[in-house]
Amino acid sequence: MSAKTELQRLVDLLSEYECGHLLSAVQDVAHGERFWEGDIGLLYNEYVKARFFNIGRNTSNIVPAGPAASDDIFAPIPMVKAYTDAERVPLPAPQPPQGDLGTLLHQRRSRRDYTGAPISAAQLSTMLQAACGATEFVSGYGYTRLPLRSFPSSGGLQSPEVYISVQAVEGISPGIYHYHPIDHVLELLKPGQHGETLQNLS
């Protein structure tokens, strides 16, 4: 079936009212309308949300509350990025902080002189968990494991992805890693020492 025939078949399913809106949208595109300034942009924004929200332009009623199929053109963006082909390095369980939050914040200092001694994998694990980890999982909005993060991120939508350069961590080979907060693992992207290169880029 040709694209033109399929398009005609789909148009035949629409009501006169719906055809009027479709015609208006097509005419706008023909006159140079940029899609991200029209309703299609609002529709996309609805789909990448993890929650159902009325944006006030009659688009929420055509957007399902739950995530669409994974192969849908408007399928929601995954909660976290994953490098499925990368070697995965599991991290040990994070350790609870020793001391109350106020004391820890008061004692925090930036360091400029380093001994070169490696940190433990448990220390790295604790830092990642406290700074950007998943603190809990809940069900909602069509998801069975909706992660709650340790930092605010606009409703948890499209949260920042964390990449680290491991240079001196006990039990973990040097390299560039991606942190997967849901599984609490590191995904190896590029092995080797890259500290000097990154320093020159900063």
**C-alpha to C-alpha distance for 153 and 150, rounded to whole angstroms:** 9
Residues 148 and 196 in one domain: yes
Residue 201, beta-bridge partner list: none
Over the Cα atoms of the chain, what is R_g? 24
Residues 39 and 98 in one domain: no
Helix, strand, coil percent values for the chain (each to nearest 5): 35, 20, 45
Strand-strand pairing, 175-180 and 185-191: antiparallel
Tokens 């991200």, located at residue: 36
Classified as helix, coil or strand, 108 is coil
Token duo for residue 160: 């920042």
Q: Provide φ and ψ at 191, rounded to 5°.
A: -70, 160
Q: Which of 54-63, 125-134, 163-172, 185-194 has the lowest mean pLDDT?
A: 54-63
Whole domain around residue 180: which residue ranges?
Answer: 87-109+116-201
In 66-194, which residue ranges form alpha helices assigned H by DSSP? 101-107, 121-132
The CATH code of the domain that includes 93 is 3.40.109.10
pLDDT digits (tens, 9 = 90+) for 28-72: 777 766 655 555 666 666 655 554 444 444 444 433 444 445 555
pTM surpassing 0.75?
no
Any domain includes 67: no
